Structure 1
Amino acid sequence: MDTMEWLYELDLSGTALKELPSSIGNLIGLMRLNMNNCKNLVCLPDSFYKLKSLRRFYLKGCSRLEIFPEILDTMKRLYELDLSGTALKELPSSIGNLIGLVHLSLDDCENLVRLPDSFYKLKSLERFYLKGCLRLEIFPEIMDTMKMLYELDLSGTTLKELPSSIGNLIGLNDLNMNSCKNLVFLPDNFYKLKSLERFYLKGCSRLEIFPEIMDTMKMLYELDLRGTALKELPSSIGNLIGLVHLSLDDCENLVFLPDNFYKLKSLERFYLKGCSRLEIFPESMDTMKMLYELDLRGTALKELPSSIGNLIGLVHLSLDDCENLVRLPDSFYKLKSLERFYFKGCSRLEIFPEILDTMKMLYELDLSGTALKELPSSIGNLIGLKDLNMNNCKNVVFLPDSFYKLKSLRRFYLKGCSRLEIFPEILDTMKRLYELDLSGTALKELPSSIGNLIGLKDLKINTVKTFNLENLPTTIKQFPLHELILRNCKRLKSLPELPPSLECLDAHDCTSLEDVSSIKKFFKQPLFCQDKPYRSLVLNFSNCFKLGEKGVGNDIDAEDSTSLEEVSSIKKVFKRAVFCKSLGWLFTNCFQLDQKAASGPETPKLEMPFEHMVTLLKDYHQAPPESKKRACIITCVPGSEIPEWFDFKSLGSSMNIQLPSEWCSNNSWINFPSFVASAVVSFPDSYTGGEFGITCECHLKSRNRDDRCFSCYSYFSFGSRLSDHVFLVYDGFKVREMVKSKASNNRIYIEATCNLYLEGLDSSQCEVKQCGVHRLFAN
């Protein structure tokens, strides 16, 4: 091969080459040679060193390459060499002739057992990667200073130690030894790495001792010791005067911290999560202005020192799952910068300290799962508090009368406070509280002053079995409520007038509920015609066994309402709402609306909700687009047959339909075909409830044989096993999108293929037994 001066890039990656010819050296102008993933490559020519112009050489993934050739002369220009994933066992001692090498990667060279002693001669080297070299046990001595090397990755190697000459890496910034599971100690002269900024030792599970820092290290700002076997840190840790981030998460052998911890004046983040033997936190003998995050989750601390108040810059403090914690210091209120304070799962904490001065910054306090019996009356000094979580505080028996002073409070969670019987009077308006969860409490009533929560939008009262609530306060109509959850209120008989802003009412298992006539007002006002394109109302009266016709309305989920029979009153409700909103109507396990009733000549009850919906959809389909908003309709009733009046029915989950000439019209929004789809879904005996979706996918063919496709999707979630049910799905929004598109104009569609399929976590247990389609004609 003659010399070739002009070829500067050669890409052979992924080829089946076994070797390169020795004449490769004639490519004297070659600057970039890519042989990545040449999995058959077994050797390189000895003449490789003759490629004097070569700057980048890539051999990543050449998994059969075991030997790298000797470099018989200096190569000044090669600055990047990638040998990661090769089968190399060693590098030649002549590697030092690559005097211009800047980047050397040997990642995942699982057969590599040693590095040459001449490694230190690579004076230009800046980045050296050895991640995942599982057989590399020894790192060579660095016989001379290396100023340029700033990044060294030894993670996942089997190194037991570093050489004492590691201090010669005077320019080293990043040293990664994560998951070096055989590492047992670090050299005493570690502190000589004056340029070191980041040192990672995560998962070095045999490392028990951290060396003394005999001189100050100004540059080291991140030290990761997570998952090591350290029992303590040296007292000289204070010499890390530039340390910003210190992580000791999951150091399960750690038993104490040095007393001079407070000398780490630059420290901002200190993580001790999962240090399950750490019982004492050191006194902070001086102020620490910079520390803003302290994570003590899952430690064995019994208390915090009174000097905790010296952490004057602390913003985030977490003590979640500190199961031995029995008290907090009285000086807690001195943490003036604190914004987030977490105690979730501190199951022995019975007393919360008095807040002796205002705390403006604290906006989130999580006390869930603690043993608190009460909150101090001084809780009102948390004037900036927005979120207060006391879920599952099973010992709490009352709340302080000063609760109403929390003027910034937005969310208050008391779910599972099963001994809380009285909710305090709200003596002044609380404008910002918009979410209140009283689920699982023992409240007997709500105070009439609840109306002072003038910003309340979400109210949950899912109750315990002993709950005695019989009435809701009439002032509830004043709230701008969006969601009202009343599950399991066994003695609740009627609903008062509800606020017009309501979007979701869930009265599941309110077994005494008889009168819900107040919801009729939702359909007597232009509620659904407001300028909110996705406005919806969901009413759930499942397991409300005493609820008859009065309980039927728009968007009703009457799951398990086995006494429900008459549904004819829904017609007017549909007429008011269908042009303006999405509609959901679920009658799961309402067995008196079964198939036998539908086939009877007197009261075809199963047919009724379906027919009313379809009648309204015909009107909806013919209306001009500007007069209607999105209409998304879902319905389900017990049954194992598609209603007889459906135009097309088929076993299984798909069907082909020939479209008649009636589709033709001068109006483009009517010319476009639309369908109501139905499916019979079978649920096996093993089905105990869950989530799934039904998708109806429709492929249309026109006379021009061009295809168009649209689909609609409905989501369902049931909390109990079901018999076979018939589902109806329709999404007018998808239809309208197709109508507006230019592709649908001037098309006459002659054929449609419909497929219905289930998806979701539990859909594998279910089966579409039958499917049906009902066409929406123009006239």
Structure 2
Amino acid sequence: MHDLMHDLATSVAKSECTFIKSKSQIVDGSVRHFSIIDSDFNRQKASGVLDNRSKTVRSLIFLKEYEYIGVSFIDTCISKFKHLRLLYLNNTLFEVLPKSIGTLIHLRYLDLSGNCLLKKLPESICKLQKLETFRLFSCSGLKKLPRNIGRMISLRHMEITTKERYLRENGIGCLRSLKILTLSGCENLLRLFEGMQGLTSLQRLHLEFCSLTSLPYSIKYLKRLEKVMIDNCSELDLKMEFQGEDKDNLCLGVRKFIINNLPSLVDLPQLILQGSANTLQCIMMKNCPKLKELPEWLQNLTSLQTLEILNCQSLSCLPEGMQRLTVLRQLKIQGCPALSESCRRDEWKIAHVREVHLDQ
């Protein structure tokens, strides 16, 4: 059955998808999804290959990586293919995204990632109210996000690289449908917007190579947040203790918490971790040299199944009450010689753990 389904899928794909290798190429009228690999394709007006497909083209993918394309080519494509659902310009170089992008009202997926020449986005892009995926990953020259980005109400997945120092309060925080948010390579970004409570659907938050010094306390309102990944944020300190009635009333749903290469980290975020005590299943910590001790409240994370601690050399012992973590099934400690020795000495703390991997 598997081979039969594979053959069927291949057959269907051949009839609807094609690679454009030449401007004179003859294409069957049933094709709706085009991948362009002809390096000369963008130097003139769109060829006859596509001219007669203006109402049927649904996907346009430019596959020549790091190829410079002129704004006239993009503008021509936009003007001809009003029914596009997907526009893929990943690792393609251009300086200006034309204002006409706002006319692609059916667009669901827009990938502009890897363009170091792009410095500004037109405000008209905020008219794409059906857009679900917007990738601006590694657009290292982008000075700022559009002012009205909060109007892109259907966005579910967004990846951003920007030179901004601060994100607007009424911008990304208004995207109530957003499920996945990645901020990467934002080297000037000092803080996130405080009003995170507007991200009512957010499930995954990924921060990497940013200059953030802290996270906003409004993260406690993200009741659907399941996964937090923080990587290579050299200035970030995650000390976030309970405030007021948080201890009794806070109920988050984070399941996986992963941090790596945080040289300024001294404390783990109580607000996020103990606030998710009933759901948190996995904690992974790597390369946090200033983390000297694990908090006593770690014993309250009674749903924890996996705990990995790698290259956190300043840690010397596990906290009291580890035996309360009755569902802990895997404990991995590497690059932490003092901590590993302590675990051997106080073996009773982790005797209930099924899989234990310690430094040799």
Query: Normalized against structure 2, the TM-score is what?
Result: 0.79
Among 344, 364, 373, the alignment partner of 2:260 is: 344
- Gaps of at least 5 residues in structure 1 are 1-57, 59-78, 126-145, 421-437, 463-779
Q: Which residue of 2 aligns with 1:453?
A: 351
* CA–CA separation in structure 2 for the residues paired with 1:171 and 1:340: 39
Give the drift of 1:223.
Answer: 1.1
Q: Does residue 289 of structure 2 align to residue 377 of structure 1?
A: no
Q: Does residue 306 of structure 2 align to residue 306 of structure 1?
A: no
- Show the 5 A alignment for 1:638-677: none
Distance 1:111 1:323, change over 3 A: closer
Give the drift of 1:314.
Answer: 0.8
Q: Which residue of 2 aligns with 1:166?
A: 78
Q: Match for 2:99: what amino acid?
A: D
Give the drift of 1:383.
Answer: 1.2
Give the drift of 1:197.
Answer: 0.7
Distance 1:210 1:328, change over 3 A: farther
C-alpha offsets along residues 262-297 of structure 1, whole Å, 9 cap, x if unaligned? 111111111223333322111135342311111102
- Show the 5 A alignment for 1:508-547: none
Give the drift of 1:411.
Answer: 1.9
* CA–CA separation in structure 1 for the residues paired with 2:331 and 2:127: 48
* CA–CA separation in structure 2 for the residues paired with 1:245 and 1:104: 22
Runs of 4+ in structure 1 off by over 6 angstroms are 79-83, 117-120
Contact 1:288-1:313 within 8 A present in 2 as well: no
Give the match's secondary structure for 2:87.
Answer: strand
Identity %: 23
C-alpha offsets along residues 327-366 of structure 1, whole Å, 9 cap, x if unaligned? 3323598461101111222121112244665611111112
* CA–CA separation in structure 1 for the residues paired with 2:76 and 2:18: 28
- Show the 5 A alignment for 1:457-472: 458=356, 460=358, 462=360
* CA–CA separation in structure 2 for the residues paired with 1:343 and 1:294: 12
Among 229, 240, 244, the alignment partner of 1:329 is: 240
Contact 1:394-1:416 within 8 A present in 2 as well: yes
Q: Which residue of 2 aligns with 1:245?
A: 157
Where relative contact order (Cα < 8 A, 6+ residues apart) is larger, the structure is 2
Count, aligned residues: 332
Q: Which residue of 2 aligns with 1:153?
A: 61
* CA–CA separation in structure 2 for the residues paired with 1:147 and 1:272: 35
Contact 1:233-1:258 within 8 A present in 2 as well: no
* CA–CA separation in structure 2 for the residues paired with 1:231 and 1:291: 25
Give the drift of 1:81.
Answer: 11
Among 365, 373, 377, the alignment partner of 2:283 is: 365
C-alpha offsets along residues 637-690 of structure 1, whole Å, 9 cap, x if unaligned? xxxxxxxxxxxxxxxxxxxxxxxxxxxxxxxxxxxxxxxxxxxxxxxxxxxxxx
Give the match's secondary structure for 1:303.
Answer: coil
Q: Which residue of 2 aligns with 1:317?
A: 228
Q: Does residue 144 of structure 2 align to residue 232 of structure 1?
A: yes
Distance 1:99 1:115, change over 3 A: farther
Q: Match for 1:259: what amino acid?
A: E
Contact 2:34-2:60 within 8 A present in 1 as well: no
Q: Match for 1:446: what amino acid?
A: R
* CA–CA separation in structure 2 for the residues paired with 1:339 and 1:407: 17
* CA–CA separation in structure 2 for the residues paired with 1:448 and 1:199: 53
Is the helix fraction higher in 1 or 2? 2
Q: Does residue 124 of structure 2 align to residue 206 of structure 1?
A: no
Distance 1:457 1:219, change over 3 A: closer
* CA–CA separation in structure 1 for the residues paired with 2:218 and 2:16: 53
Contact 2:239-2:270 within 8 A present in 1 as well: no
* CA–CA separation in structure 1 for the residues paired with 2:83 and 2:359: 63
- Show the 5 A alignment for 1:542-553: none
Contact 1:288-1:312 within 8 A present in 2 as well: no
Distance 1:328 1:287, change over 3 A: farther
- Show the 5 A alignment for 1:470-489: none
- Show the 5 A alignment for 1:551-570: none
* CA–CA separation in structure 2 for the residues paired with 1:238 and 1:282: 13
Give the drift of 1:298.
Answer: 2.4
Distance 1:111 1:149, change over 3 A: closer
Give the drift of 1:186.
Answer: 1.2
* CA–CA separation in structure 1 for the residues paired with 2:316 and 2:57: 64
Among 173, 177, 180, the alignment partner of 1:266 is: 177
Give the drift of 1:445.
Answer: 6.3
Q: Match for 1:150: what amino acid?
A: R
* CA–CA separation in structure 1 for the residues paired with 2:58 and 2:343: 68
Q: Match for 1:351: what amino acid?
A: D
Give the drift of 1:100.
Answer: 5.4
Q: Which residue of 2 aligns with 1:114?
A: 44
Contact 1:353-1:376 within 8 A present in 2 as well: no
Give the match's secondary structure for 1:272.
Answer: strand
Distance 1:291 1:335, change over 3 A: farther
Give the match's secondary structure for 2:173.
Answer: helix
Q: Which residue of 1 aligns with 2:11?
A: none
Contact 2:134-2:157 within 8 A present in 1 as well: yes
Distance 1:335 1:119, change over 3 A: farther
Contact 1:312-1:337 within 8 A present in 2 as well: yes
Distance 1:234 1:454, change over 3 A: closer
- Show the 5 A alignment for 1:586-625: none
Distance 1:101 1:401, change over 3 A: closer
Distance 1:319 1:234, change over 3 A: same
C-alpha offsets along residues 30-50 of structure 1, whole Å, 9 cap, x if unaligned? xxxxxxxxxxxxxxxxxxxxx
Contact 1:340-1:365 within 8 A present in 2 as well: yes
* CA–CA separation in structure 2 for the residues paired with 1:455 and 1:388: 11
Q: Match for 2:252: what amino acid?
A: K
CA-based RMSD: 3.5
If you compute each CA radius of gyration, which structure gives the higher value, 1 or 2? 1
Give the drift of 1:419.
Answer: 4.3
Query: Normalized against structure 1, the TM-score is what?
Result: 0.39
Distance 1:106 1:219, change over 3 A: closer
Contact 1:213-1:236 within 8 A present in 2 as well: no
- Gaps of at least 5 residues in structure 2 are 1-13
